[in-house]
Structure 1
Amino acid sequence: MGIDFMGPFPVSYGNSYILLVVDYVSRWVKARATEAKDAKTIVEFVKSNIFYKFGVLKALNSDQGSHFCNCAMATLLEKYGVVHQVATAYHPQTNGLAEVFNREIKKLLQKMENLNRNDWNRLLEDALWAILRKEFKVSQKLIVGKLRSRWDGPYIVTNIFPYGIVEVRDEANNNTFKVNGHQLKPYHEGLNLSSTLGKVIHHIGGTGFALTLNILFDLHAMMRSKEKTESKSKTMRKSSWSNNDSNLEPDPS
């Protein structure tokens, strides 16, 4: 995930900067108008808008600004085990996706503000919505199509990569794309697939499941629940068989 600051801009509703974060896998983007450009603002934003909502990151990319490289940020990232990857002045493209969104947001705000340059804070959410639905140029090296979440399904798991990245395939058009594993959850009824799916999609520990992109899930918990169910079923069958055996004993009378 990349993080960057924009500004300073003319003061708008008490704010002069825009703090922006971009997920490199899903292209999810979040921006917030801020009064200051300091470590306290960033730490609060990362904790409340990323860690507490979506979980802990594997890595965070930023530039060498003192608002990103400081003791407060280092302490936060070390506490949660997040790798801080810093873009050098000679290779700023290592945080290039955040820079692309910065430019696009700035262009849209300039078009939307007209003569009132102090109104950009109110228009920031509208600019973000337009960005997420915009078709970018190939030269910008972004994903093909519109930047919007694909919260349909189920999808077929085709590959699993390091750092929690999962490749899935859409059966409707056979397209594949990669997503963060934290955004997946099992698609099932109890522990059995709906018969309308027609086939088992993916196997983990003998459990078949389909996937939709939505919220964090725990496959291990699902598998433990299945094992408990099977264990209980075996116990009940054994008990039933014992009872039947007792009926075969000769009548002592």
Structure 2
Amino acid sequence: MEHAVAFGSRTLTKPEHNYSTTEKECLAIVWAVTKFRPYLYGRHCSVITDHHALCWLTSMKNPSGRFGRWILRLQEYDFDVKYKSDRKHLDADALSRCPLPSPAILELDQTPTAVCCVLSPVQHPSLRREQLHDPFFSTIIHYLEDGSSTADRKLARQAQHFLICDGILYRRNYNPDGPRQLLAAPGAYRAAILQSLHDDPTAGHLGFFKTYERIRNRYFWPRLYSSVRKYINSCLVCQQRKPSIPSKAGPLQPLPPPRHPFERVGIDLFGPLTESSSGKRWIVIAIDHLTRYVESAALPSGTSEEIAKFFIHNILLRHGSPRFLVSDRGRSFLAKLLQDILHACSVTHTPTSAYHPQTNGLTERFNHTLADMLSLYVSTDHTNWDSVLPYITFAYNTATQSTTQFSPFRLVFGREPTCNIDTIFPYPCHTEDNIPLAEATSRIEECRQLARTRTFDAQAASKLRYDEQHHATSYAAGDLVWLWVPIRTPGLSDKLLCRYVGPYTILHRTGPVNYVVEPSDPPTDRRKRSTETVHVSRLKPYGAPPDSGPPRARVASSSDGGRCETDSSPSS
């Protein structure tokens, strides 16, 4: 008994209104067959019309013009035309008797639609032939059909879970909803099943559990669990978008506190801020890793020349040349001018890895404190922040730090500063004024070593808490990985962009948690090749797609705007 599966209609365009009746009826066939292509392609169908003249459509000799083009378009379909009088053609006739107004139709046509293509039905002979070619299923089929009593016990136990229906092998499946037969899928069809139940829009690229349950409730083949796991792990679209594991990679690797003040200095730029009354927009900050002492200055534009001048006047000429300078990978810090000065002073520059400012965490943390302090003293128009900056820097340097239990001022100068309020009230004479120089020096050094020990203890406690949520991950040279990049593309939603680009190739390891990588398909010209030092937390293993099977996805790069793109060729 016939029943309707889908309905479709559209209004004629202005030129189409001039067609003859036969041309309009033929146009309806061409449009309908094209619209319902996912249901009709690859199978025989019948076109039923109430226009008797179209019955000769498939047998028309020497067609030309509009009819010739239409017949050519219909050649890829297997169909015949049948006549049905209009009195019996009520289901389709109803759509033409009460057409919708044209504006409503035009508005509806502008709405984007998605069509999910269905696979061509597999014929029983080809399915049975593939099952007989499968080593595992063929053994079960022969046992069930021949009823051999000489089979081993293992085969007999396995065969108990299978049955043959119309020549096709199925596996019995028992679940709370009752017995169910699962198709024994031979190897030739597994890739299409995996793609349809994972990649298609109706499957949604869901994770392993949901995809596995969707497949195991319909099909069976040996090692189905591992097949689904391998397929999903190699899905390029999923790898680009989804994090591979809930915990982050890379244990904490804190920089050990130096032995002497200003042996290691972290430097950073803070801004841009509202332009001050004196034309300043940036703040350069330098902080000593042992004492937490801060040097700061307001800058007009934060160029490398201004950074170099700050380094010479505020660090080199006040505290001496440091051994190490830690900064991010900003242009001002990697410029040749500053690098030449550091080289002349024998300073080792340690830039952080890209998109991983945690290496310079002491400076980054002070930036938050600086913002809080500045916000409490700036004017309503935010133009006096540069005049407030020296005062709040002094306030920070004279405050006791929770980690060292000393103020940075005391660890640098060996004493606490005299504040304004200290001159108002009388204090007894200090007995420390006459302490011998050797004893005073010893006390200062003792405070610094105590601060260093307390910093070690605080770092150990932080590492313990951090490592509970992170795991150790290592890669070997030549491994392929995905690289996380915080892509921002104008006009696109950040939340819908892919998180990873690649693949990249591991070149070598530069430390416990840092690697040097390059694109897996670098330019042939070595001068154009670019490498990048990245933290392990930005990497995750690349799952290579299978060598054969249906198209999976195109690997997006950062230049693509972070879009995950799948192959849109039709399934067959």
- Which interval holds the TM-score relative to the shorter structure? 0.5 to 0.7
Local SS of the residue matching 1:117: coil
Question: Distance between the aligned counterparts of 2:326 and 2:301, measured in 1?
Answer: 20
TM-superposed CA distance for 1:126, in Å, is: 1.6
1:168–1:178 CA contact under 8 A, matched in 2: no
Residue 147 (1) aligns with residue 408 (2): yes
Q: State the TM-score, normalizing by the size of structure 1.
A: 0.58
Residue 3 (1) aligns with residue 289 (2): no
TM-superposed CA distance for 1:145, in Å, is: 4.1
TM-superposed CA distance for 1:112, in Å, is: 1.1
Match of 1:133 in 2: 398
Question: Distance between the aligned counterparts of 1:108 and 1:154, measured in 2?
Answer: 33
1:235-250 alignment runs, 5 A limit: none
Give the counterpart of 2:332 among 54, 62, 67.
67
Once the two structures are superposed, what CA deviation does each residue of 1:180-222 show, in whole Å capped at 9, x if it has no partner?
A: xxxxxxxxxxxxxxxxxxxxxxxxxxxxxxxxxxxxxxxxxxx
Question: Distance between the aligned counterparts of 1:130 and 1:116, measured in 2?
Answer: 23
Residue 50 (1) aligns with residue 315 (2): yes
Question: Distance between the aligned counterparts of 2:368 and 2:409, measured in 1?
Answer: 19
Local SS of the residue matching 2:409: coil
Output the amino acid matched with 1:67.
S
Local SS of the residue matching 1:149: helix
TM-superposed CA distance for 1:5, in Å, is: 0.3
1:78-89 alignment runs, 5 A limit: 78-89=343-354
Match of 2:135 in 1: none
TM-superposed CA distance for 1:98, in Å, is: 0.9
1:160-239 alignment runs, 5 A limit: 168-169=445-446, 176-178=450-452
Local SS of the residue matching 1:20: strand
2:398–2:407 CA contact under 8 A, matched in 1: yes
Question: Distance between the aligned counterparts of 2:284 and 2:329, measured in 1?
Answer: 15
1:22–1:98 CA contact under 8 A, matched in 2: yes
Q: Structure 1 stretches (4+) deviating beyond 6 angstroms?
A: none
Output the amino acid matched with 1:116.
D
Question: Distance between the aligned counterparts of 1:44 and 1:76, measured in 2?
Answer: 10
Match of 1:111 in 2: 376
Question: Distance between the aligned counterparts of 1:51 and 1:132, measured in 2?
Answer: 19
Output the amino acid matched with 2:450.
T
Relative to structure 1, the CA distance from residue 59 to residue 9 in structure 2 (aligned partners, 3 Å threshold; closer, same or farther) is same
Give the counterpart of 1:122 among 369, 383, 387.
387
Greater Rg by CA: 2
Local SS of the residue matching 1:32: strand
Once the two structures are superposed, what CA deviation does each residue of 1:124-164 show, in whole Å capped at 9, x if it has no partner?
A: 1121122223355x5xxx4224333241451438xxxxxxx
TM-superposed CA distance for 1:102, in Å, is: 1.3
Question: Distance between the aligned counterparts of 1:135 and 1:54, measured in 2?
Answer: 21
1:15–1:35 CA contact under 8 A, matched in 2: yes
Question: Distance between the aligned counterparts of 1:76 and 1:2, measured in 2?
Answer: 16
Question: Distance between the aligned counterparts of 1:25 and 1:31, measured in 2?
Answer: 17
Once the two structures are superposed, what CA deviation does each residue of 1:8-67 show, in whole Å capped at 9, x if it has no partner?
A: 111112100000101111221110000011110011111122222222110100000011
Local SS of the residue matching 2:296: strand
Count residues in correspondence.
Answer: 162
Q: State the TM-score, normalizing by the size of structure 2.
A: 0.27
Question: Distance between the aligned counterparts of 1:155 and 1:78, measured in 2?
Answer: 32
Computed over aligned residues only, the root mean square deviation of the Cα atoms, in angstroms, reads 2.4
Question: Distance between the aligned counterparts of 1:39 and 1:90, measured in 2?
Answer: 21
Question: Distance between the aligned counterparts of 2:442 and 2:374, measured in 1?
Answer: 39
Give the counterpart of 2:287 among 18, 22, 31.
22
TM-superposed CA distance for 1:90, in Å, is: 4.5
1:92-107 alignment runs, 5 A limit: 92-107=357-372
Question: Distance between the aligned counterparts of 1:112 and 1:118, measured in 2?
Answer: 11
1:63–1:88 CA contact under 8 A, matched in 2: yes
Relative to structure 1, the CA distance from residue 145 to residue 57 in structure 2 (aligned partners, 3 Å threshold; closer, same or farther) is closer
Residue 37 (1) aligns with residue 302 (2): yes
Give structure 2 stretches of 5+ with no counterpart: 1-264, 416-438, 454-572
Match of 1:209 in 2: none
2:404–2:450 CA contact under 8 A, matched in 1: no
TM-superposed CA distance for 1:114, in Å, is: 4.8
Local SS of the residue matching 2:410: coil
Question: Distance between the aligned counterparts of 1:73 and 1:123, measured in 2?
Answer: 28
Output the amino acid matched with 2:407.
K
Question: Distance between the aligned counterparts of 1:168 and 1:149, measured in 2?
Answer: 11
